[in-house]
Amino acid sequence: MRVVAWILTLLLVLFGLGLAALTLGAFAALSAGAPLWLRSVGSLESAMSAGLGWADIPGFTRALVLAVLTSAVAALGAYIKPR
């Protein structure tokens, strides 16, 4: 059971890191002064949101939802971690 918990924790941490990068990119896409590579991550997030049908939601709202989702995934990964 501990091995499954460690694997699930690792997967949740990796998923959380991916979501964190998308969140950072989503916030960077809102600013014209952000570095180009960071705005590129924001355009990736924008394309993924359009694929999911969330293109009509404003960018700031999508970024906030991603931030909350990232926090929830990170908290779940920390909660499941074997002690």
**Largest Cα span, the chain:** 48
Could you tell me the pTM of the whole model?
A: 0.88
Please name the amino acid found at residue 41. Answer: V
In this structure, what DSSP letter does residue 30 have? T
As a whole number, mean pLDDT of residues 2-10 equals 93
Q: What is the pLDDT of residue 38?
A: 92
Cα distances (Å, whole numbers) of residue 59 to 27, 32, 33, 35, 67 = 8, 13, 16, 17, 12
Q: pLDDT digit string (tens) for 11-41?
A: 999 999 999 999 999 999 999 899 999 999 9
Q: What angle do CA 70, 26, 10 make, to 5 degrees?
A: 30
